[in-house]
Structure 1
């Protein structure tokens, strides 16, 4: 039996993939614990019995919605990821010393997990919940890459081993990428320690109360979701989505996730159902298409079910993931800031009625399921624990 300490940021899209892996390890008899700055969120996603060790950390940053490109990236790092790492570091260190894990599993954006593990001499694995950083996204913009590297060096000097030189985003021991080359594309990095295990899709029971009887089997169901971290920027886009669906109400209906309350809801509407939260995995089993922000988690869950996409990236890794979807042939991209109901409607017509996109989504679905998901990731972690365990304890 080995011990695995998962270090994750308090972000749904980063926790969800790790949940399935942790559950698989626990089912195999291993010790599992978590470090997260939001224990309530962690337990909501991983289950109330999850062993969450105390850790400080800021809430996710509410970025100005107009920020895009390098400015949005700079704000994300300086306003959230770097302060999060500094705040988490004491808790991660205490958790590692108390729990005594054989392996630390550090999310790619939870820098404290990697830096503390390196400082304590513990083997650590990277949980890459988005493939964007694995595709050389900064190769063409060396100033950005240099700026990120400098910030990480400064962070290491404050919370890690100043003599260390490993990029905390890329473990030299094991990197688990929750995608496959069929989506990530031919530029995705390779290596003996890099394993594309596909999405980790854990069973997430649907919250009671969703009106399943509302769905009309005679019409295609479109799921519209822009994730949980973009509520500040979604109002106009969601309104245009609703307009596009209403123009096609004879053949399309939509379920709209609207946690920010940007769209006015009507209880007797037969064409558009607006809810703050939706049972996404269960809905994807019935969906004909998904309109989303190209968040990696949502994209992978849609393609796990073979559902084609209309992607409207907002910021961060989303443009990279959107490009992967389009290059793979599994969807159509629209411009988030300039979209109209007419353009969205045309994109919906394309993915719903032109078979090439559904065929491509089905090809990625097959690759995802063959990659192994959470069980494959758990097996790789077991091997790392066994290979790095002191010889006298084997």
Structure 2
């Protein structure tokens, strides 16, 4: 049995992957403490682990970011908002996270392994605080795109695939310099955050997130990530985590139409978090496909989502609107998924071999969309507010061109050749 601390920033999308790993480690006989936000205590206990709440200065409710971070609401999606998030949402809690982690290790739970999401920077500080062998083994779960700068690919933020040609490496290095310049003030702020823990950042913070832990386990496959020859030896592709079993939800009364559909089923969703404004993608997609010979299923992810869609105008005859419709139940029937590009949702579609049309902005979504198109598994709409015409053209293309479904199926096969939970357990058991 190994003692493990699993740490996650208090966001649903960060906590759930950590809980999936925690549940598997508990099943294998390991003892796990989860250090994360207070609102997740019941979820932690449900997987058989002990919950320890973050201190108040590092805890918040991700459903109410505007309450905790009121200045953020005035910033547009893009570099300004991203810089704010890196400084204040992820950076400022670093020292409090580090103190909570080291206190837990010293006084209550002397774990030999600490597993964290890449944005729980208290764990990054722990990695930098002492040499391996003088602290627990640290493992970072790549729950989103790797941030490491490379001369083989553009940095995150440009939404571009790798450039080609003789000067590609040079142009990538120039983009890297631009990113360092844009985030120079952010770098200084984060250095101060780490300094409060007595830790010095060894270089650019986006590099350090990947290079600092003893093991960086990227939760995807090489076929979905830009190739880089300069990855550190600690970096490893382990494939995506299995889907989290959904809480039981009654299926809508029109579900039989999905099961018996003789025409393509197009599933539309903005995920379970970025769905406050369904006019960004769901409603345009429903309108776009009104005249197409498809069955459109809009999974709004909100109990009041169907009412919002109907309030925006008549629902086309070929559309069915749901609230909490489990994606894993829908995807076996889907011919295309139209989505705003959450990393987990895209991987869930590819796990089922479903090609995608992606329209998202903010956070990592433009980068995820770019990888969907680069991998050949779908189309990138290059905006979070696409026109109905753009959505219709992209869906028609994905349905008509078999190459997209073929690439999605190939990635599905690549997923099946990886076992992320087994790879993580191996690291834990060898620690």
TM-score (norm 2): 0.79
Q: Which moved more, 1:55-64 or 1:299-308?
A: 55-64
The alpha-carbon deviation at position 72 of structure 1 amounts to 2.1
Deviation by residue 1:126-170 (Cα, 9 ceiling, x = unmatched)? 111012414642525221354443232111111x23356485622
Deviation by residue 1:224-252 (Cα, 9 ceiling, x = unmatched)? 2223332344424221111023222x322
Equivalences for 1:92-103 in 2 at 5 Å? 92-97=101-106, 98-103=108-113
The answer to whether 1:69 aligns with 2:78 is: yes
The alpha-carbon deviation at position 269 of structure 1 amounts to 8.0
The alpha-carbon deviation at position 296 of structure 1 amounts to 1.0
2:191 maps to what in 1?
153
Relative distance call for 1:276 and 1:118 in structure 2 (3 A) is farther
Structure 1 distance, partners of 2:213, 2:124, is 11
2:199 maps to what in 1?
162
The answer to whether 1:127 aligns with 2:141 is: yes
1:225 maps to what in 2?
269
The answer to whether 1:204 aligns with 2:235 is: no
2:325 maps to what in 1?
278
The alpha-carbon deviation at position 332 of structure 1 amounts to 0.5
Relative distance call for 1:271 and 1:233 in structure 2 (3 A) is same
SS in 2 for 1:230: coil
Contact (CA 8 Å) 1:58, 1:84: kept in 2 or not? no
Structure 2 distance, partners of 1:270, 1:234, is 19
2:61 maps to what in 1?
59
Relative distance call for 1:129 and 1:189 in structure 2 (3 A) is farther
Contact (CA 8 Å) 2:286, 2:298: kept in 1 or not? no
The answer to whether 1:238 aligns with 2:285 is: no
Relative distance call for 1:81 and 1:340 in structure 2 (3 A) is same
User: Quick one: higher RCO (CA 8 Å, sep 6+), 1 or 2?
Assistant: 1
Structure 1 distance, partners of 2:93, 2:19, is 21
The answer to whether 1:346 aligns with 2:360 is: no
2:412 maps to what in 1?
365
The alpha-carbon deviation at position 34 of structure 1 amounts to 0.7
Structure 1 outlier segments of 4+, above 6 Å: none
**Structure 1: 5+ residue runs without aligned partners?**
386-394
Structure 1 distance, partners of 2:48, 2:31, is 13
**Structure 2: 5+ residue runs without aligned partners?**
67-71, 157-175
Relative distance call for 1:173 and 1:282 in structure 2 (3 A) is same
Structure 1 distance, partners of 2:298, 2:44, is 22
Contact (CA 8 Å) 1:65, 1:233: kept in 2 or not? no
1:80 to 89, 96, 103: 89
Contact (CA 8 Å) 1:33, 1:52: kept in 2 or not? yes
Structure 2 distance, partners of 1:314, 1:328, is 19
Relative distance call for 1:207 and 1:46 in structure 2 (3 A) is farther
SS in 1 for 2:261: coil
SS in 2 for 1:360: helix
2:100 to 91, 95, 102: 91
Contact (CA 8 Å) 2:7, 2:18: kept in 1 or not? no
1:388 maps to what in 2?
none
Over the aligned positions, Cα root-mean-square deviation in angstroms equals: 2.8
Structure 2 distance, partners of 1:274, 1:333, is 24
Structure 1 distance, partners of 2:50, 2:316, is 43
Structure 1 distance, partners of 2:110, 2:180, is 39
Structure 2 distance, partners of 1:353, 1:119, is 54
2:171 maps to what in 1?
none
The alpha-carbon deviation at position 90 of structure 1 amounts to 4.1
1:187 to 220, 225, 228: 228
The alpha-carbon deviation at position 19 of structure 1 amounts to 2.9
Structure 2 distance, partners of 1:5, 1:270, is 51
Equivalences for 1:113-124 in 2 at 5 Å? 113-116=123-126, 118-119=128-129, 121-124=135-138
Q: Which moved more, 1:133-142 or 1:221-230?
A: 133-142
SS in 2 for 1:35: strand
Q: Which moved more, 1:106-115 or 1:257-266?
A: 257-266
The alpha-carbon deviation at position 275 of structure 1 amounts to 3.3
